[in-house]
Amino acid sequence: MKEDLYKTIVVKVGTTTLVNENGKLNIVGIEKLVRVISAIKNSGKNVVLVTSGAVGAGAGRLGIKGKGDIRIKQALAAVGQGVLMQFYEKLFLEYGVNVAQVLLTREDLETDIRRQNALNTLTTLFEFEVVPIVNENDTVAVEEIVYGDNDTLAAVVAKLIGADLLVILSDVDGLYTMPPHEPGAEKIPYVKEITPEIEALAEGSYSNLGTGGMQSKIKAAKIATEAGIAMAIISGESPTDIYNILDGSTACGTFFEPKKAGECAKEA
C-alpha cells in the first residue's frame, strides 16, 4: 500500500454484508473485513468503520423475522449494538487493534457544538491508535431509522474528519447502467462527475435487512466528492479490493473522482 495516497479512510459496511438472510451474523464476511481494516490500520493509516447491522443482528439474536414498527426497531437496535460490538472487539483484538463505539444522530452532526465534540472524539481516538466504529444511534433517533441510512452518515463523517477516501461495501459491486440482474447491464467503473444521468441510474434497490439502495450511495458520493474526498463502491464479499484502491487503482467496483480543492471552494 502506498503511504501517501490516502492517509485517512472511512469504510462503510452494510447490513447485507454483515448479516445472513436468516438473521445470523456472516462470520466469514466480518472476519475478512476486520482483517483488511486491521492491516490498513497497522500500516499507519487512520481508519473509521461505519457499520450497519444493529437491527439485523438484534433480530437474529432474538429470533424475530422482519423489522416491525419503530418501537421494535429501537429495541432490536439496542440488542444488536451489543452483539456487533462484542464480535468486532474480539476479532480486532486478534490483530492487535483497539476499537471504540461511537453512536451518532443527525443532530450530533448538524449542531455546531455537538459536531465539534464528535470531531474531537474521533481525532483523539486516532491519536490513541484506535479504530472508531460508528453507527447511527437507532435506539433514540426515530427519524434516522425511518429516513436515514449509513451511506449518508459515512459521507458526513468522512467530510467531518477530512478523510481522503470513502469506501462503501455493498451487495452490488458498483454502479450499473441498469439493475445488475437485468440482461445487458454493464458496470460503470469510473465516474468523473455526478451528473443527472448518473443520478437517474441509481434506482432504489432495497433488501429485506438493509435500509439503503444505490440512491443513497450516489447521495453519499455527492457529499464526499464535493468535499474533495474520493469514493468507491465495491463488493462486500471482496474487502481486499480496498488494498488495490489504496495503491491507486480505480478498477475496483465504481470509483468516484473527487473535486479538486479549487472546485470545492468555488461551490462552498
Q: How far is CA 199 from the centre of its chain?
A: 19
Contact 15, 210 (CB under 8 A): yes
Q: Do the annotations mark residue 52 as ligand-binding?
A: yes
- CB within 8 Å of 110: residues ≥ 6 apart: none
Contact 16, 236 (CB under 8 A): yes
Q: Do the annotations mark residue 171 as ligand-binding?
A: yes
Q: Where are the beta strands (DSSP E) in 177-247?
A: 187-188, 190-191, 230-235
Q: Do the annotations mark residue 138 as ligand-binding?
A: yes
91 - beta bridge partners? none
Q: Do the annotations mark residue 214 as ligand-binding?
A: yes
Q: Do the annotations mark residue 212 as ligand-binding?
A: yes
Strands 8-13 and 98-104, bridge-based pairing: unpaired
What is the CB neighbour count within 10 angstroms for residue 213? Answer: 18
Return the C-alpha cell found at 88: 468486532
In 3-state terms, what secondary structure has residue 162?
Answer: coil
Q: Do the annotations mark residue 38 as ligand-binding?
A: no
Q: Do the annotations mark residue 259 as ligand-binding?
A: no
- CB within 8 Å of 266: residues ≥ 6 apart: none
* Binding residue ranges for substrate: 52, 138, 150
Q: Which residues are annotated as a binding site?
A: 12, 52, 138, 150, 170-171, 211-217
Annotated binding residues for ATP = 12, 170-171, 211-217
